[in-house]
Amino acid sequence: MKILSDFVVKLLTRCPAARWSPIPLRLIVGYGFMQHGFAKLSRGPDAFVAILQAMRVPVPHFMAWLTILTELIGGLAVLLGAFVTIVTVPMMAVLLAAMLTVHLPYGFSSIKLLAVTAAGAKFGPVGYEIILLYSACLAALVIGGSGPFAIDGLISKRFDARTRTRGFLTADAPAGLRRVAR
């Protein structure tokens, strides 16, 4: 994993503009997850519970709220670049569950044009292509980092600053100056 991470960092440092590439990924993935969570809330959580019951998901009320909160909180965290590595785990679980239970039977493509009418194009059910795109974006953010203007970067800088200022106790230093930088 370290080799892959070093390769990604080396690749991103070749082009100065490449360091900004995580921002659109964070915006798209974060907003997309939040939008799905808000859609479930706007229809009423009981509507999503009914869908989960029909699919025979165990403890549907709990799973419905867990999914909604994962989409809302995880989406916001990715949007802000906060704890991306941590929130990616439940977000990937939601994606995997959606792919296996809903999208897989409809094939790969996310665009299934059924008809074009006077009202506009009519599309069929979405395949698992979108799930793979979300997964790839989350993986890229975990491997390459959250990029600039991310809370993860602020936390990392603050942690690094705190660890640099800590030192070791020295017995021969005056009482007030016993700590020295590492």
Residues 135-166 have pLDDT tens digits of 999 999 999 989 888 898 888 777 777 776 66
Cβ contact 71:36 at 8 Å:
yes
* Alpha carbon distances (Å) from 36 to 33, 76, 105: 5, 12, 20
Question: How high is the pLDDT of residue 182?
Answer: 45
Residue for token digits 């979108």? 130
Among residues 64, 135, 49, the alpha carbon closest in space to that of 99 is found at 135
- Please measure the distance between the N-terminal and C-terminal CA atoms of the chain and give it in whole angstroms: 28
Query: Whole-model pTM above 0.85?
Result: no
Mutual orientation of helices 45-54 and 22-42 as an angle, nearest 10°? Answer: 90
Distance CA 94, CA 64 (A): 11
Q: How would you class 58 by CB atoms within 10 Å of its CB: exposed for 0-12, middle for 13-18, buried for 19 or more?
A: exposed
Distance CA 108, CA 86 (A): 28
Q: What is the pLDDT of residues 36-52, one digit of tens each?
A: 999 999 999 999 999 99
Residue for token digits 């705190």? 162
* CA-based max dimension of the chain: 87
Residue 175, both tokens: 């009482």
Q: What percent of the chain has pLDDT over 70?
A: 85
Residue 105, both tokens: 């039977």
Helices and strands in the chain, H and E counts: 7, 4
Residue 5, both tokens: 């991470």
Among residues 16, 68, 32, the alpha carbon closest in space to that of 47 is found at 68
Question: How high is the pLDDT of residue 2?
Answer: 75
Phi, psi at residue 167, to the nearest 5°? -140, -170
The larger pLDDT score, comparing residue 74 to residue 21, is at 74
